[in-house]
Amino acid sequence: MAFISPMAAKATRAEPSARGNARGLLSREEVYGRIRRRSEELCEPLEIEDYGVQPIVDASPPKWHLAHTTWFFETFLLVPFRKGYRPFHPSFEYLFNSYYNGVGEPFPRPSRGNLSRPTLAEVLAYRRHVDVAMAPLLVAEDVEVQARLELGLNHEQQHQELLVTDFKVTLGSNPLKPAYRERNGETLRTALPLAFRHFDGGLTEQGMDAGGAFCFDNESPEHRVWLEPFALANRAVTNGEYQEFIEDGGYAQPALWLSEGWAWVCRQGIYAPMYWRATDDGWQEYRLDGEGAVAPHLPVTHVSFYEAEAYATWAGARLPTEAEWEHVARGASPRERSPQRGRARGASPRNSSPDSHEPSAAVLAGNFADSGRLHPAPAIPGTDGEAAPMQLFGDCWEWTSSAYRPYPGFTPLPGTLGEYNGKFMSGQQVLRGGSCATPEGHVRATYRNFFYPPDRWQFTGIRLAKDA
């Protein structure tokens, strides 16, 4: 499985590793330990009762995430590669399989919230059991083992994001509106003016070949794409801007909506982003630090693809394609600052050479889960000027105009792991860039996330684009 770069190789290159947000030299054991611990740390503010609840089918109980990520290591590493390994419990294979038909019939997803057993204590014991058993594999030189290990850790990071969004649903849909963390005062209370930067288009590259750093199979292979000239907004759409759309009757004008989107609005009675509530005191929004007035300068989040499209139409713009987005992000992504950067075909903001616009990742990236904020933050301009696309990474996943389909030459992983991505390539839209719930270092310019058009329990947002 050559497309997965062995984690060890990179760690020994003593380069900053995107994974585990590590800086400096980390052993495989340390990376494994950090990532595994992180999942449990995220749950620390929860009550035992919060671990089992599943208010919407899309979400899963935290307890389930903790067990499922462990099941992944047990199923794809311990069982095939550690002789004599005895699974922790004979039923867990069935209970904590998410959707791998190759491993047998999974337990029905909508019923995950009905499983009061195993208890949290038993699930934590399961984690300990697997972690202990994994120790020898962490130092194994087997390439396949290393590749699966890296996949397993990236998989766990994905579930760390889902942990956050899923317990947000549980807490946010509870009439008591319990907070997950305390609210801190914010210093920055305004948003930058919206501006568009132009790009020339032309023949560019998209995706990433296996064999170098880690990527998921759906990002491969790297391939050429032709882009027409376009412009991209410097930041995500804000709550304040979105409120103008609402006040202008955005949710009442079918002409702004895709046909499916309009049907969704009517059938579900949608009139605002998820977690917004109209009160006598104006719009309130539930955030993980509790419910409060909608802050106009923050990026709007928890909107569906339908809402993103309708907003863009209303604003006289459109959503970017994933190729456009990536074209820009390859110039801005932190991972392109490495020596291999020369290989990158970064976007050239009009009238300037790529080199003269070396992006400063520290400025351009938004906030990730590691900040503990767990909510989008306002864009902060860097040295490149206010029109430079900011917060492409972090804050909000950005809906793109592109349906989630395979790249030319796409080949799924062999065997059961091939069910990881490929079989979901219908009916979904691509999102790019990660969010405030994404572990720092987990995403990159080529990273493809995907959700169904009506989904909005993730931290999804809107970045506008235009033909140029």
Q: Of 186 and 260, which CB lies nearer to its own copies in the complex structure?
A: 260
In whole angstroms, how close is the CB of 12 to its own copies at the nearest point? 35
Tell me the pairing of strands 202-206 and 397-403.
unpaired
Q: Of 245 and 450, which CB lies nearer to its own copies in the complex structure?
A: 450
Q: Of 122 and 370, which CB lies nearer to its own copies in the complex structure?
A: 122
Q: Under rule CB under 8 A, which residues in 165-194 are in contact with its own copies?
A: 170-171, 173-176, 178
Rounded-to-integer distance, Cα 349 and Cα 344, Å: 15
Across the chain, which distance is largest between two alpha carbons, in Å?
66
In whole angstroms, how close is the CB of 119 to its own copies at the nearest point? 5
420-426 long-range Cβ contacts below 8 angstroms, 24+ apart: 420/151, 420/216, 420/217, 421/216, 421/217, 421/218, 422/217, 422/218, 424/450, 425/218, 425/450
Phi-psi region of 184 (alpha: psi -120 to 50; beta: other; left: phi over 0): beta
- Which listed range, 50-58, 124-132, 268-276, 381-389, lies at the site for its own copies (CB under 8 A)? 50-58
- Cβ pair 453, 304 in contact under 8 A: yes
Question: For its own copies, which residue of 11, 43, 164, 225 counts as binding (CB under 8 A)?
Answer: 225
Question: For its own copies, which residue of 261, 273, 349, 394 counts as binding (CB under 8 A)?
Answer: 261
Q: Could you say whether residue 426 binds its own copies (CB under 8 A)?
A: yes
Which sign does the torsion angle of CA 59, 61, 63, 64 carry? Answer: negative
Q: Of 203 and 362, which CB lies nearer to its own copies in the complex structure?
A: 203
In whole angstroms, how close is the CB of 408 to its own copies at the nearest point? 5
E strands, 207-243, in order: 223-227, 230-233
Q: Could you say whether residue 277 binds its own copies (CB under 8 A)?
A: no
**Strands laid side by side in the 290-293 sheet:** 276-279, 282-287, 290-293
Q: Of 149 and 270, which CB lies nearer to its own copies in the complex structure?
A: 270
Q: Could you say whether residue 282 binds its own copies (CB under 8 A)?
A: no
Q: Could you say whether residue 128 binds its own copies (CB under 8 A)?
A: no
In whole angstroms, how close is the CB of 114 to its own copies at the nearest point? 4
Q: Could you say whether residue 419 binds its own copies (CB under 8 A)?
A: yes
**DSSP code string of 108-148:** PGGGGGG---S-HHHHHHHHHHHHHHHHHHHT---HHHHHH
Rounded-to-integer distance, Cα 274 and Cα 283, Å: 12
Q: Could you say whether residue 40 binds its own copies (CB under 8 A)?
A: no
Rounded-to-integer distance, Cα 177 and Cα 379, Å: 27
Interface ranges with its own copies (CB under 8 A)? 47-55, 63, 91, 94-95, 99, 101-102, 107, 111, 113-120, 170-171, 173-176, 178, 203, 223-228, 230, 254-255, 257-262, 305-306, 309, 321, 401-403, 405-406, 408-409, 418-419, 423-427, 453, 467
